[in-house]
Amino acid sequence: MTPIKLYMLVFPVFIALIAAEAAYYRFVLHREYGWQATLSNVVVAIGRLVTEGLLAAIVLAVYYAAYTLRPFTIPMDRWESWVVLFFAVDFAYYWLHRMSHEIRWMWAQHAVHHSAQQITLSVAYRLGWTNLIAGPWLFLIPVCWIGFHPLSVGLMFAANLIYQFWLHTETVPKLGVLEKIFNTPSHHRVHHAVNPEYLDRNYGGVLIIWDKLFGTFAGEKAGTEIRYGLVSQISTLNPIKIVFSEWVSLFRDLSSARSLGDALGYAFGKPGWAPEGRRRTSARIRDESVSQGTVSETPPLLHS
């Protein structure tokens, strides 16, 4: 089994579920379903598949290079190895996802996913086309280096992303005891929210335990209306603008930098960073809301 074959197996299921969700909106909820947004999501997803396919050889070569330096070989013919690999990949995903929110260079790609203002299943693969230069794939290098075969790592990572498909919906309520361990639609709705108390929370892939361990967890509150998208919304259905708008904004800021420090801050500081605090980061927005008493305080991030 390869990641491509795995994606091809689940693709018909995903299409059927997207259609079923749209029907549920129309005939059960009697709510508007964003067909135009879904079309944009599909176009963005196709672009992601094309760019990933063209650049996969480069990423795989780096993974194999790390694997040749492994201190030992982990045999993949044992079920225990797959269990350890699952946790290793999910842990790596937590950090690559978290850094995609905390480093603007990485956020320039990840913002594509968060720019959706309605959360439906089609948003799951509304992903940027600049993965190679944004760098989230680098976080899987240590998993290959410690002795897991790169193809096994790729397969487990693909499975992790496939799991996350069903998280992008408002049609699934809280799931009781499962909420304590697994990432669920409820947890992921919080992750996509721009409500101040929900900003930069719930980075987990399959498991939510990493967020609870590292202080980035927030639960969905009953009666709180969730707003989705970006703090500064981009209201467009143009796939090209969706994919590149944050990169354009980043390079505009870089061109205005007055010093090397400013340039490094714009590129690798937190999204929203600006010299002399002229803009607000997510942490600042959250802290101001807490101080004003508009939200209840949530556990701090490690860097706070």
Can you read off the two tokens belonging to residue 138? 């680098």
Residues in the chain: 304
Q: What is the pTM of this model?
A: 0.93
Burial class, 117, CB count within 10 angstroms (exposed 0-12 / middle 13-18 / buried 19+): middle
pLDDT digits (tens, 9 = 90+) for 17-62: 999 999 999 999 999 999 999 999 999 999 999 999 899 999 999 9
Contacts of 206 (CB under 8 A, 6+ apart): 86, 90, 160, 163, 164, 182, 183
Cβ atoms of residues 157 and 90 within 8 Å: no
pLDDT digits (tens, 9 = 90+) for 162-208: 999 999 999 999 999 999 999 999 999 999 999 999 999 999 999 99
* 73 has a pLDDT exceeding 70: yes
Output the average pLDDT for the chain: 93
- Cα–Cα distance, 116 to 227 (Å, whole number): 10
CA within 13 Å, CB half, 250: 22
Q: Assign 301 a pLDDT band (cuts: 50, 70, 90).
A: very low
What pLDDT, on the 0 to 100 scale, is given for residue 176? 97
* 148 has a pLDDT exceeding 70: yes
**Concatenated DSSP letters of 36-78:** HHHHHHHHHHHHHHHHHHHHHHHHHHHHHHHHHT-SS---TTS
Mean pLDDT on 219-244: 94
pLDDT digits (tens, 9 = 90+) for 88-145: 999 999 999 999 999 999 999 999 999 999 999 999 999 999 999 999 999 999 999 9
The ranges assigned to domains in the chain are 37-304
Can you read off the two tokens belonging to residue 282? 């997510």
What single-letter amino acid sits at 14? F
Q: How far apart are the two ends of the chain, measured CA to CA in Å?
A: 43
- Cα–Cα distance, 297 to 304 (Å, whole number): 13
* 286 has a pLDDT exceeding 90: no
Can you read off the two tokens belonging to residue 150? 């790169």
Cβ atoms of residues 148 and 74 within 8 Å: yes
**Concatenated DSSP letters of 171-215:** SS---GGGGGTB--HHHHHHHHB-SGGGTT----SSBSHHHHHHT
Mean pLDDT on 286-290: 84
